[in-house]
Amino acid sequence: MRGCIPKKLFSYAAGFQSDFADSAGFGWKLQAPGFDWRVLVENKNRELARLEDVYRSMLRSAGVQMFDGYGSIVDAHSVTVNGKTLSARVILIATGGTPERLGIPGDELAITSNEVFDLPSLPRRVLVVGGGYIACEMSSIFRGLGSSVTQMLRGDRILRGFDDDVRSHLTAEMEKHGIEFAAETRLQHIAQGKTGLHLTTDRGGSLEVDCVLLAVGRVPNTRELGLQKLGVMMAANGAIVVDEQSRTSVDSIYAVGDVTGRIALTPVALAEGHAFADSLFGGRPRVADHRCVPSAVFSLPNVAVVGLTEEEAIRSHEEVTIYRSNFRPLKKTLAAGPGRTMMKLVVDARSDKVLGCHMVGEHAGEIIQGFAVALKMGATKADLDATIGIHPTAAEEFVTMRQATRSVTRSGVVAGG
């Protein structure tokens, strides 16, 4: 959770650059705004310290004993922390994940998302390595704060696993904001030079930057826990294998969150932990529901999705109908800068049930959260059509899309554009 909050705060900060530029079209006359990285870092640290105090106070009020330090599991009922042995009927592991590194020469000169929000100053030239949501968020943050940004991808496009229309639209919007992409390229070497970091790639090119940020994935934090000697079943990447009750192969040991390799989202970890507590100590046995989980990418512009992508829906349904809209939102009509919103609905053609809801645009996360409730309840396209929109908003587009873009069958037959 501590990683999510700084990322969102810095994303807010990055978004102001576009807001300042847009304001001119609405009559505001501003001097060129300046940005102070140190002020943002100091205020972030103060807010995190406040939240830390709040969380610790809540734990103390609930009667929780806290032991700060690194722990390892001794046996099925015991943990050692700083030389002290603690015993319990049940052990819950919630150690999260940690960023991966590349293991290339000069790798130690790069940073990860763990260190990025504590840099002493804003780097002028940044290379972000990776194509996932963290990489896209970091590229957007640095570019929004004024850095020159290149994002290097091993594959041909960003956000693998997201809907193809989302991937294409976000790429185009990020490029409009000045982010350069180096696709199908691998970083091979980092060296410290007099004026910056000198980089070489497998494509024979070279680049000089002030900061290399690695966002190439995360691995479960299990290396020092001592699980192997206890016979806890683990995946090849170190993730703890659990059943639907979050129980490991050792009956008294449970695990929730990123460390299990399930859905790596903070709210999912909270839901798993809540279900664990209710089941073992609250007298209300239940499991966390991993279906239809909404998620957001705090890039510029934002991405938010819930449900199936078009590609997933085609694999699991006989025929799907696609509704898609690409428009310039009202707020951008008087602004000189770029900014188009994309919204998409994936619908089961047989049952009319909405299978997926996707958005790239301002406030996407705020908008999709509400539609996540509708999809969780089994909303149909007819339900959305019968809902009155709030005008003028971008969100109303989801309930006014009447004309299907295309229909696709499992055999690949496409009708429409």
- Which residue segment(s) compose the domain that 336 sits in? 295-416
pLDDT per residue as tens digits for the range 91-121: 999 999 999 999 999 999 999 999 999 999 9
Tokens of 305: 């999705």
Domain end marker among 168, 188, 217: 217
Residues 369, 404, single domain; the answer is: yes
Give the span between the Cα atoms of 395 and 363, in whole angstroms.
Answer: 9
Scored b (16 or more CB within 10 A) or e, 309-321 reads bbebbbeebebbb
Residues 212, 349, single domain; the answer is: no
Residues 93, 225, single domain; the answer is: yes
Residues 274, 379, single domain; the answer is: no
Question: What parts of the chain have a pLDDT lower than 70?
Answer: 1-3, 417
Residues 188, 112, single domain; the answer is: yes
Residues 318, 396, single domain; the answer is: yes
pTM of structure: 0.95
The reported pLDDT for the residue numbered 236 is: 95
- 3-class secondary-structure state, position 374: helix
The reported pLDDT for the residue numbered 205 is: 77
Tokens of 165: 């229309």
Residue 49 lies in a domain: no
- 3-class secondary-structure state, position 237: coil
Scored b (16 or more CB within 10 A) or e, 102-123 reads beeebeeebbbbeebbeeeebb
Residue 2 lies in a domain: no
pLDDT per residue as tens digits for the range 37-62: 999 999 999 999 999 999 999 999 99
Active site residue 391: yes
The reported pLDDT for the residue numbered 417 is: 60
Query: Which alpha helices (H) appear in 177-306, and where do they start and end?
Result: 266-281
Residue 251 lies in a domain: yes
- Number of independent structural domains in the chain: 3
CATH number for position 380: 3.30.390.30
Residues 299, 409, single domain; the answer is: yes
* Cα separations in angstroms, 45 against 50, 51, 114: 9, 10, 14
The reported pLDDT for the residue numbered 2 is: 54
* Annotated catalytic residue, options 77, 198, 317, 391: 391
Residues 324, 303, single domain; the answer is: yes
